[in-house]
Amino acid sequence: MSHATTNHKMSAELEAHHHAFNDDKTQFGFWAYLMTDLVLFATLFATYAVLHNNTWGGPTAGELFSMPYVLVETMALLTSSFTVGMAMLAIFRFKQTQALIWFVITFLLGAVFLGMELYEFNHLVHEGLAWHASAFMSSFFTLVGTHGLHITVGLLWMGIMMFRIVKQGITHNNVRRLTLLSLFWHFLDIVWIFIFTFVYLMGAAAV
């Protein structure tokens, strides 16, 4: 058993080394995409910063959001950024079951985050504070909604990759794709730090 695992690991590592150059290029290409996505988010942050006080007589960010609720949301996403790292460590050590368990935990934490966000959106719309209520609500829904859309895509991607691991095992192609997925997921957590800080914390501080 352990002999077979070692052989599998060695051949996979050789193969990985062979493709290292192409993998570095793929990873750099994906990184370049993430950086352009960062610029996209920057324009939405700038829009929010300019429009967030334009509430048209409606409630401000500080009056609207429950801070403990947002903290739980933030902790769920932050923890999922850690667990996706744990999943990748298991992948690099060719521990399939362990990797799958970490990916399932990551997926559930991501789903909790997305569910809480959708609940909040739904609540706001029912309060009559949809995206057309004021410039503040428009910029809020665009910024936070774009992040939520990225999370949704990340969850779909993660679901497909978990299926592929079960079907195909830890192949070279799957390792490459999972590496990109983990970069994407860490990136989304970093964007959320700034949404948490500038939308929710600054809203509560009424700046």
Partner 1 sequence: MSHNNNQHHATHGSYGSYVVGFILSIVLTLVAYVAIVNDWFTGMGALLFVTTLAVLQLFVQLLFFLHMGQERGPRWNFMTFVFAGIVVFIVVIGSIWIMYNLDYNMTHKMTPEQLDQSIIEDEGLGEQGTSDHHHEEQTEHHNH
Chain residues binding partner 1 by CB under 8 A are 13, 16-17, 20, 23-24, 27-28, 31-32, 35-36, 38-39, 42-43, 45-47, 49-51, 53-57, 60, 67, 71, 74-75, 78-79, 81-82, 85-86, 88-89, 92, 135, 179, 183, 186-187, 189-190, 193-194, 196-198, 201-202, 204-207
The contacts of residue 151 (CB under 8 Å, 6+ apart) are 77, 110, 113, 114, 117, 188
Q: How far is the CB of 79 from partner 1 (least distance, A)?
A: 8
> Between 60 and 152, whose beta carbon lies closer to partner 1?
60
**Are 73 and 154 contacting, i.e. CB atoms less than 8 angstroms apart?**
no
Non-local (6+) Cβ contacts of 187 within 8 A are 34, 37, 38
Cβ distance to partner 1 smaller for residue 85 or 145:
85
Q: For partner 1, which is the closer residue by CB, 101 or 167?
A: 101
The residue among 75 and 149 lying less far from partner 1, judged by its C-beta, is 75
Give the amino acid at 149. L
Tell the residue number behind the tokens 């994407």, with chain if given: 184
| Cβ atoms of 170 and 99 closer than 8 Å | yes
| Minimum CB–partner distance for residue 189 and partner 1 (Å) | 7
